[in-house]
Each structure stands twice: as structure tokens, then as C-alpha cells.
Amino acid sequence: MRLSPLLSLAVVSLLSLSIFGCDSAPGRPKAGPEVPRPEQVQDFATLYKQNCAACHGENGRQGAAVSLANPEYLALAGEDTLLQVTAKGVPGTLMPAFAQSAGGMLTDRQIRSLVDGMIKQWGKPGILAGQNPPAYAATGAGDPQQGQQVFATYCARCHGADGRGMTAKDAGAAKAEKSFGSIVDPSYLALVSDQSLRTTTIVGVPGEGMPDWRNDVASHAMTDKEVTDVVAWLASQRTPYPGQPYPTAPAAQQHPH
Ligand code: HEC
Ligand code: HEC
């Protein structure tokens, strides 16, 4: 089984933290006489590159963390969520808080500029009109048992019957170059929030071949309830402290700052 992108990211983040300390933390550009003071940078491309690209990909795609250059994602999450998450991060995951008020390095104006830039450059107004996607956030608790059925219908052909992944050969894709990593690995589930599982289930993984909620196997798009249930099934496989040397301090809570 290969390491999922997120796990590789965790390894890299921990390594760079231990080697460079907090100077390599996102949001802290190198000092230099010609360089504008960090809090003066307002340009979206620069801010994105310095703070987000390492995890979310050079152009907002194909990074280890969720693609932000995805118009469906941006429309689904909405401006308020984007502002909120960028400012405060996602506690217990690798997504750092960037607002100075939350211990980060960016001013409120810089966060605004990042979110405006993402929506302007990568968004597409009205892209979800008439598409009736599941809600961004779950509105109730899911049913893990139902979720297992949902998984069998929509997900197993790529992620394996039990979610443990499979090789391209197992998947019957003789020429496929990729194999699908486990999405029920405790170390993976420990690093990722339920919201992130939900986001991925709804918007898919563009450019990597994972379809969005509209899928291509069933006669209908995934319903809100199906998404909630399948996430509940995945989440039910989380173990409290997966393989942690220090059971009282989950590694997922060691913040990059
Ligand atoms: C160290 C890696 C890292 C960096 C740097 C980072 N992110 Fe993230 N980001 C993540 C991870 C991992 C998640 C998923 C967190 C979770 O499990 O919910 C995430 C989630 C998000 C989400 C929410 C996705 C959702 O499900 O709705 C947004 C929005 C986001 N990041 C924006 C940004 C922006 C903007 C920046 C730069 C200012 C940034 N991130 C920098 C790792 C990172
Ligand atoms: C056509 C193939 C395909 C189908 C169907 C599919 N996926 Fe995926 N999925 C992928 C690929 C490819 C990736 C990204 C590469 C990887 O991590 O294996 C991925 C990644 C993921 C991830 C993130 C893994 C990570 O490392 O961050 C989750 C969670 C996920 N899928 C859940 C699901 C769920 C839930 C379903 C069913 C509703 C589903 N997938 C259906 C191909 C698929």
C-alpha cells in the first residue's frame, strides 16, 4: 500500500519543522532588504504561492490537500467558509490558521485578498445553478451501515470493497498507472476531518480521476443523505489514537505553528 498524498504531506511537514523550526512555517517569507514587509504583500499570486501552494498545489490543483482551483468546490463552500477556514485553519489537521488573531502571520486584508483571488481566478459564477449538489456541511448524523452500502455502490470499484485501496491491476485497469491508496487507514483518518471527507466525496479529485457527486455509475447523482452516510461509515473506522507513541497527544494536533 502506498502512502496517501496527505500522509506524505504530514511526513514532509514534520521533517521540515524539525529541521528548520518555525522559520519555515507558511506565511513567513525570507527577510531581505528589497523584499516588501510581509504584511504589505497584497498580491494574490504571491500570497498564494508563499502560504498555500506547498499543500494545495502550485496552481491550486494536484497538491496533497484538496484542490482549491475547482469552481464547483469554491461555489459549494462559499466565500464565508473560505474566509473562516483560511483565517482559523482546521484544528486537529494539517491546515494551519493564518489570521494573526488566530496565531498566524496574515492580516485580515491579506486573507480577504486570498479569498477574493481564489474566487476571481478559479471560480465560475453560477456553476452550480440547477445542479442541486449536496450541502457543503452535513445537516445531521449519518448512518454508517447505510454508508457501507453507499460505498459499495459508488466508491468500491476504485477504493476496494473495504476501502483499503487496490492496485490498478485489481481495478481491472491494465494500463492505469495509479493505484488507489487506502482511505480507511487509521493514520490517514486521524489527519483528516469529517468535513474534508465530505468535501472530497462531493467535489471529487479533479485531474486524478475521482468523479464528483454526479458520478457515472448510478442513474442519479449522490444525494445529501448518501454523502452523509458514506462519510459516517468512513469516520466509524477511525481509531482513537492510531499508532501514536504518546496516546494522550494525537499527532494530528501538533500544529505546524
Ligand atoms: C501544511 C499544509 C497546508 C497549508 C500550508 C495550507 N493548507 Fe489548506 N488545508 C490543508 C489540509 C490538510 C486541509 C484539510 C483539512 C481537514 O481535514 O479538514 C486543508 C483545508 C483547506 C480548506 C477547506 C477545504 C474544505 O474541505 O472545505 C481551505 C479553504 C483551505 N485549506 C485553504 C487554504 C489556503 C487559502 C491556504 C493558504 C493561505 C492553505 N489552505 C494552506 C493543508 C494546508
Ligand atoms: C473512478 C475512481 C474513483 C471513484 C469511483 C472514487 N474515488 Fe475517491 N479517489 C480516487 C482517486 C484517483 C483519488 C486520489 C488519489 C488517491 O489518493 O488514491 C481519490 C481520493 C479519495 C479521497 C482522498 C484521499 C486522500 O489521500 O486525500 C477520499 C476521502 C475518497 N477518494 C473517497 C471516495 C468516496 C467516499 C467515493 C465514493 C463516494 C470515492 N472516493 C469514489 C478515485 C476514485
Backbone angles phi, psi at 132, to 5 degrees: 50, 55
**Shortest-distance Cα residue to atom 31 of ligand 1:** 95
User: 85-90 long-range contacts, Cβ below 8 Å, gap at least 24?
Assistant: 86/111, 86/114, 86/115, 87/111, 89/255, 90/193, 90/195, 90/196
pLDDT, residue 206, reads 85
Q: How far is the CA of 78 from the centre of ligand 2 (A)?
A: 23
Alpha carbon of 159 to ligand 2 centroid (Å): 7
Q: Is the CB of 134 under 6 A from ligand 2?
A: no
Q: Three cell numbers at 65?
A: 490537500
Give the residues of the chain that fall short of pLDDT 70.
1-5, 7-9, 11-34, 167-179, 241-257
CA distance 244 to 239: 11
pLDDT of residue 88: 98
Rounded Cα gap, residues 60 and 117, in angstroms: 11
Ligand 2 centre and the CA of 96: distance in Å? 23
Q: How many whole angstroms from 135 Cα to the centroid of ligand 1?
A: 19
Compute the distance between CA of residue 250 and CA of residue 187 in angstroms, rounded to an integer.
Answer: 10
Please identify, by atom number, the ligand 1 atom nearest to the C-alpha of residue 82. Answer: 29
| The predicted structure's pLDDT at residue 219 | 79
Q: What is the pLDDT of residue 208?
A: 87
Which pLDDT belongs to residue 167?
64
Q: Which residues have a Cβ under 8 Å from the Cβ of 24 and sit 6 or more positions away?
A: 16, 17
At 29 the pLDDT is: 56
Going by alpha carbons, the residue nearest to atom 8 of ligand 1 is 95
- CA 65–ligand 1 middle distance (angstroms): 6
Ligand 2 nearest atom to the CA of residue 66, by list position = 27
Residue 7: per-residue pLDDT: 67
